[in-house]
């Protein structure tokens, strides 16, 4: 099996993201690579997708791509599906929603933790967006299981792992409650009234994950995440 996770993510949040160049890089030499894989007895390919692609998951705005980056990921998926099909190779697609956890890129949950560890209140400007947040360790276990389930016969298999499909306001309150327990801090929170929706209001995945079947320990995840935030954002360690 070849697991293909790499993608062009240069300035991926920009509306000027070059989706056509990203598609070129993401699929470079695909016409040569897939037949070579087959010659070397590799009969399965696993591609990482995004819930922000066109046509993925469930949500509003007719499931159009959330951004040019999302568009490039969807087009990449189409190209891989075509060339795997004509070469008789099994293609698996693992669609990632909103992961968070240790070693995360500085985004929403890191912003919250940084404010709390600095003794500040964290204000949430987009509480009405509905997203699908998933701990990265649970996502990894789901990915590992999916790889093991892929058949070697030609065809297409997809999974859209889902864990907490809810408003960002509700997720943030849950996140704050966990951080209060694991950081022993107030974790003050303010949910602002959301007036603008530059992104689709709803975009979530569709296949609920059973944490117990994956032997995932949620409390251990929060312990590890709190320790990571302390190391990242505070020099005097919180007990």
The token pair that represents 141 in the structure block? 């276990």
Q: What is the CATH number of the domain that holds 37?
A: 3.40.50.720
Is residue 50, in this structure, part of any structural domain at all?
yes
Is residue 188, in this structure, part of any structural domain at all?
yes
Per-residue DSSP letters for 31-73? HHHHHHHHHTT--EEEEEEETTSTT-SEESGGG--SSHHHHHH
Cα separation, 58 vs 173, whole angstroms: 23
With CA atoms as reference, report the closest residue to 119 among 188, 212, 202, 22: 188
Is residue 238, in this structure, part of any structural domain at all?
no
Q: How does pLDDT run across 145-189, given as a tens digit for each residue?
A: 999 999 999 999 999 999 999 999 999 999 999 999 999 999 999
pTM assigned to the model = 0.94
Is residue 157, in this structure, part of any structural domain at all?
yes
Number of domains in the chain: 1
Instruction: Give yes or no for residue 32 having a pLDDT over 80.
Output: yes
Number of neighbours of residue 128 by Cβ within 10 angstroms = 16
Range of the domain at 69: 2-233
Rg, Å, the chain Cα set: 20
Q: What is the pLDDT of residue 235?
A: 55
Is residue 210, in this structure, part of any structural domain at all?
yes
Q: How does pLDDT run across 97-155, given as a tens digit for each residue?
A: 999 999 998 999 999 999 999 999 999 999 999 999 999 999 999 999 999 999 999 99
Q: What is the pLDDT of residue 239?
A: 46
Q: What is the pLDDT of residue 231?
A: 94
């Amino acid at each position: 099996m070849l697991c293909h996770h790499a993608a062009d993510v240069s300035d991926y949040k920009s509306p000027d993201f070059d989706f056509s160049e990203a598609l070129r890089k993401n699929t470079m030499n695909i016409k040569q690579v897939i037949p070579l894989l087959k010659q070397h007895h590799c009969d399965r390919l696993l591609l990482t997708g995004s819930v922000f692609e066109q046509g993925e998951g469930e949500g509003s705005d007719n499931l159009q791509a959330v951004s040019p980056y999302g568009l490039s990921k969807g087009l990449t998926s189409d190209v891989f599906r075509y060339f795997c099909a004509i070469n008789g190779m099994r293609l698996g697609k693992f669609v990632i929603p909103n992961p968070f956890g240790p070693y995360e890129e500085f985004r929403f949950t890191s912003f919250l933790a940084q404010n709390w560890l600095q003794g500040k209140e964290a204000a949430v400007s987009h509480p009405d967006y509905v997203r699908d947040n998933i701990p990265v360790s649970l996502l990894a276990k789901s990915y590992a299981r999916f790889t093991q389930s892929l058949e070697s016969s030609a065809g297409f298999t997809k999974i859209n792992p889902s864990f907490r499909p809810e408003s960002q306001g509700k997720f943030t309150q849950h996140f704050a409650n966990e951080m209060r327990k694991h950081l022993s801090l107030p974790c003050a929170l303010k949910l602002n009234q959301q007036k603008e929706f530059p992104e689709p209001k709803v975009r979530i995945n569709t296949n609920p994950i059973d944490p117990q079947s994956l032997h995932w320990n949620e409390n251990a995840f929060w312990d590890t995440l709190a320790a990571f935030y302390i190391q990242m954002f505070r020099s005097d360690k919180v007990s």
